[in-house]
A = this chain, B = another copy of it.
């Protein structure tokens, strides 16, 4: 075949490309950035890969970070806002890890090219896709950049928000002692948002990502606006002050004298509009184009699901391509069917987590987690299985059923 064209060199595009190369399918990945540019720019995110994703990396032969030093083992919860904070851990059945994507993506791109994948650096706009579609058997859009996403209509029924629900400020820091056992700390400052403290490996070594998820109108919204570039010391002082006041479990492990951003590009600020888009579109020439990753579903980073979902979705799409390389509407519908449950669950669960105020059944689950280690562990494990999480969490009735079945209601 003339092969598959993939627009985008993020985790979705690379996992898809690597899977297809394992099956000797010709693949070209288009990117507007070289490997060097991907590796040397501003930080891209602070996402962790959970073990379901790591299993895919192992199957792809790209598990370059299998040593224990890269791993963490669960979540430390600090839920403020009540008379007493709820403080409890939850553990995975297998570890997660966070690798700076400026290391991760170039490494996988090298794997891809060394295995016969084509890498074509050029800007691709939506207007170019018809031309690409005539060069390839199938074009996959694995980039939400520029105007690519707009090819796929946003689904109002799965996109409950008209505006971002969190203002984001994420950076890489030295001077934060790891939690014990090593894990992500999820700190909730009721009414103001969350801090995700993530052990991450970057070019600076083992450092800490602090991802502030700030409620618009809350006391921490300003973290998404202050400029490190204009005033590095003032920026770091503000981060320290806000952490002390709102996220004390993390602050307790910070050495203020050693606390620094690891570099001027190691900070990212902004906001995300959660969106679920159609799975595919038909071009004027009759060819079909499939969306994966951010082109398909954008979630707030609060529970770190975006990259894991993109990898999962790419995996399902890749197997569909290998099994049935007839790229018509039947193909697209089969892809949509096989990934729908987990992908929608990822979006729905994330959207529940950022609802303000948090719905009572979510708080009820948190309360049960604080009292019951098995419940906390299952919730934590389900960061690998958002569909199972959503089975337990989707409605007040489901939470009731879940707790009743465990003698906890």
Contact = CB atoms under 8 A, between A and B. Distances in A.
Nearest to A340: B337
A203 interface: no
A226 to B, nearest CB: 41
A37 interface: no
Stoichiometry, copies per complex: 2
A317 to B, nearest CB: 15
A330 B397 contact: no
A324 B390 CA distance: 11
A26 to B, nearest CB: 15
A328 B395 contact: yes
A340 B324 CA distance: 16
Contacts of A337: 337, 340-341
A363 to B, nearest CB: 20
A36 B340 CA distance: 45
Contacts of A338: 341
B328 A397 contact: yes
B324 A391 contact: yes
A361 to B, nearest CB: 13
A135 interface: no
Interface string A215-226: 000000000000
A268 to B, nearest CB: 34
Interface in A291-347: 323-326, 328, 330, 334, 337-338, 340-341
A324 B323 CA distance: 29
A334 B328 contact: no
Interface string A369-404: 000000000000000000000110011011001000
Contacts of A334: 341
Contacts of A401: 325-326
B326 A390 contact: no
A395 B401 CA distance: 46
A38 to B, nearest CB: 35
Contacts of A391: 323-324, 326, 330
Contacts of A398: 326, 328, 330
Contact of A330 (B326, B328, B330, B394): B394
A400 B341 CA distance: 33
A155 B394 CA distance: 28
23 contacts: A323-B391, A324-B391, A325-B401, A326-B391, A326-B394, A326-B395, A326-B397, A326-B398, A326-B401, A328-B394, A328-B395, A328-B397, A328-B398, A330-B390, A330-B391, A330-B394, A330-B395, A330-B398, A334-B341, A337-B337, A337-B340, A337-B341, A338-B341
Closest 7 CB pairs of A and B: A324-B391, A326-B398, A337-B337, A330-B394, A337-B340, A326-B401, A334-B341
Given A325-B401, A326-B401, A337-B337, 13 more contacts: A324-B391, A326-B391, A326-B394, A326-B397, A326-B398, A328-B394, A328-B397, A330-B390, A330-B391, A330-B394, A330-B395, A330-B398, A338-B341
